[in-house]
């Protein structure tokens, strides 16, 4: 098949991990006879430096004219001044909105070989397989009014958390659809004891749940969920929640797998829209340019892209198997290595996965 893939390396470790993933995708294309046309575009802080805006028109146009978008990471101390007028993160929020990518799928799956790399005890994490479904284009990230003013008590900043029925229903429906193909359980996370937004969320979510009597359904308050994720992560299947809670809980959940450097994600809209694929970790400015970042979350995001946007199930599974084989063989980047284990760099890890992929038997 022919596919146009826009690559947005972005900032920090973004360019390093996207470069390795591109090489991997080139090998996938050669092995399975596809033609992937890559188009690299400026995005995030580097785009601010070069064009004054984090999401230049050319970048957005390239994304809108592609079959899928694969991103590295955005942001860093250089653009972190709280009074800055433009911020790299605005580019990411703008892109998610422009693609209509309201559903953020963040799978938290423990590779057997990494059960010991988690800060939690191996018996707690073995077999964990959670699908986080984070609402991505609403909630407090986008609600208006938002802004800052100089009031009677000095500087004041404000954001608004709001969700309407349509936004809640469509994301909760996605969670139930996913659960049907998985372990048939949905957990909705909110803060309904305090927030009006959450009370509406809970009402609508219950209505969707009533339409799916075959799926086990529960609601958990976000503070309690933070605890249950650590205490009994294997009890969850599909977890659906709003934008802010999903942002926080998915970072927390990543540690179950051993490292934030392992978690991929897919941001999807209505069927047929262009998907945005990104590792859930950030730009890691502290290790940028050192060649030690873990490329696996980006590679696993590329697998999600092949599966969801290009319908290439075999190829997606091949990437996942290659990653798993490399971990089983004992290769670890610095974030995964335990005391006494040698760590390989970004390029070495990339090469191991590429080699493992080449070695997978095709039928």
Q: Which residues bind ligand IPM (CB under 6 A)?
A: 74-75, 89, 92, 247, 280, 282
Q: Which helix (H) or strand (E) covers residue 92, if one does?
A: helix 88-99
Q: Which residue has the tokens 């009597």?
A: 213
Give the residue with the Cβ less far from Mg ion, 20 or 247: 247
Our CB check for ligand IPM shows the closer of 168 and 263 to be: 263
CA distances from 327 to 20, 302, 324, 349 (A): 17, 18, 5, 10
In the complex, minimum distance from the CB of residue 48 to ligand IPM, in angstroms, rounded to a whole number: 14
Q: Which does 12 bind (CB under 5 to 8 A by kind): Mg ion, ligand IPM, none?
A: none
- 305 touches, from Mg ion, ligand IPM, none (C-beta below 5 to 8 Å by class): none
Query: Judged by CB, which is closer to ligand IPM: 96, or 331?
Result: 96
Known catalytic residue at 141: yes
Q: Reply yes or no on whether 4 is catalytic.
A: no
Annotated catalytic residue within 11, 141, 217, 277 = 141
Q: Which is closer to ligand IPM, CB of 85 or CB of 181?
A: 85
Give the nearer residue to ligand IPM in terms of CB position, either 45 or 295: 45
Q: Give the nearest residue (CB) to Mg ion.
A: 247
Question: 238-257 mask for Mg ion (x: CB under 5 A)?
Answer: ---------x----------
DSSP state of 295: -
165 contacts: CB under 8 Å, gap ≥ 6? 200, 204
Please give the residue whose beta carbon sits closest to ligand IPM in the complex: 89
Q: Is residue 165 a contact partner of residue 200, using CB atoms and an 8 Å limit?
A: yes
With vertex at residue 255, the alpha carbon angle to CA 334 and CA 107, rounded to the nearest 5 degrees, is 110
Query: Least distance in Å: CB of 291 to ligand IPM?
Result: 23
Catalytic residue among 112, 223, 286, 313: 223
**Residue 177 binds which one of Mg ion, ligand IPM, none, with CB within 5 to 8 A depending on kind?**
none
End-to-end CA, the chain: 18
Candidate list 163, 247, 277, 335, residue with the active-site label:
247
89 binds, among ligand IPM, Mg ion, none (CB under 5 to 8 A by kind): ligand IPM
Q: Report phi then psi at 239, rounded to 5.
A: -120, 120
To ligand IPM, the closest distance from the beta carbon of 71 in angstroms equals 9
Residues 131 and 150: beta-carbon distance below 8 Å: no
- Is 32 labeled as catalytic in the residue annotation? no
Which of 11, 163, 190, 191 is flagged as catalytic?
191
Strand order in the sheet with 35-40: 35-40, 2-10, 68-73, 275-277, 266-268, 103-109, 129-135, 238-241, 185-190, 216-221
Q: Which does 258 bind (CB under 5 to 8 A by kind): ligand IPM, Mg ion, none?
A: none
Q: Are 134 and 250 in contact (CB under 8 A)?
A: yes
Nearer to Mg ion, 106 or 331 (CB): 106
Q: Which is nearer to ligand IPM, 209 or 280 (CB)?
A: 280
Q: Has 223 been annotated as catalytic?
A: yes
- Name the strand (E) or helix (H) holding 45: helix 45-51
Least separation in angstroms between residue 184's CB and Mg ion is: 28
For residue 1, give the nearest of 39, 27, 37 by alpha carbon.
37
| Smallest separation, CB 325 to ligand IPM (Å) | 28
| 339 backbone dihedrals φ, ψ, rounded to 5° | -55, 130
Q: Could you tell me the smallest distance in angstroms from the CB atom of residue 282 to Mg ion?
A: 7
Is the CB of residue 306 less than 8 Å from the CB of residue 330?
no
Residue of 102, 67, 111 lying closest to 266 (CA atoms): 102
Show the CA angle centred on residue 151, arms to residues 147 and 153, nearest 5°: 120
| Least CB distance to Mg ion at residue 247 (A) | 4
Catalytic residues: 141, 191, 223, 247, 251
Which residues of the shown chain bind Mg ion in the complex (CB under 5 A)?
247
């Amino acid at each position: 098949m022919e596919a146009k893939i826009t690559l947005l390396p972005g900032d920090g470790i973004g360019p390093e991990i996207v470069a390795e993933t591109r090489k991997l995708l080139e090998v996938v294309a050669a092995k399975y006879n596809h033609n992937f046309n890559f188009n690299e575009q400026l995005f995030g802080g580097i785009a601010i430096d070069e064009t004054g805006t984090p999401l230049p028109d050319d970048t957005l146009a390239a994304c809108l004219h592609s079959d899928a978008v694969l991103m590295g990471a955005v942001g860093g101390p250089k653009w972190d001044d709280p009074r800055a007028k433009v911020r790299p993160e605005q580019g990411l929020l703008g892109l998610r909105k422009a693609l209509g990518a309201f559903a953020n799928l963040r799978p938290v799956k423990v590779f057997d070989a990494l059960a010991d790399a988690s800060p939690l005890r191996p018996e707690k994490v073995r077999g964990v397989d959670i699908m986080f479904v984070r609402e991505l284009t609403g909630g407090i990230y986008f609600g208006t009014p938002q802004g800052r003013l100089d009031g009677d008590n000095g500087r004041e900043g404000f954001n608004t958390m709001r969700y309407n029925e349509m936004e809640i229903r469509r994301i909760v429906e996605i969670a139930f659809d996913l659960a049907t193909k998985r372990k048939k359980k949905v957990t909705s996370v909110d803060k309904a004891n305090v927030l009006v937004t959450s009370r509406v969320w809970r009402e609508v979510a219950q209505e969707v749940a009533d339409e799916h009597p075959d799926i086990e359904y529960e609601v958990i308050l976000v503070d309690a969920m933070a605890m249950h994720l650590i205490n009994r992560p294997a009890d969850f299947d599909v977890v659906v929640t709003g934008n802010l809670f999903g942002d926080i809980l998915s970072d927390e959940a990543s540690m179950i797998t051993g490292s934030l450097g392992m978690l991929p994600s897919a941001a999807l809209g209505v069927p047929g829209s262009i998907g945005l694929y990104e590792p859930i970790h950030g730009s890691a400015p502290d290790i940028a340019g050192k060649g030690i970042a873990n490329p696996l979350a980006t590679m696993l995001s590329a697998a999600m892209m092949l599966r969801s946007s290009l319908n290439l199930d075999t190829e997606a599974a091949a990437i996942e198997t290659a990653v798993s084989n490399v971990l089983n063989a004992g290769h670890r980047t610095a974030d995964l290595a335990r005391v006494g284990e040698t760590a390989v760099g970004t390029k070495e890890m990339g090469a191991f996965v590429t080699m493992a992929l080449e070695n997978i038997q095709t039928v």
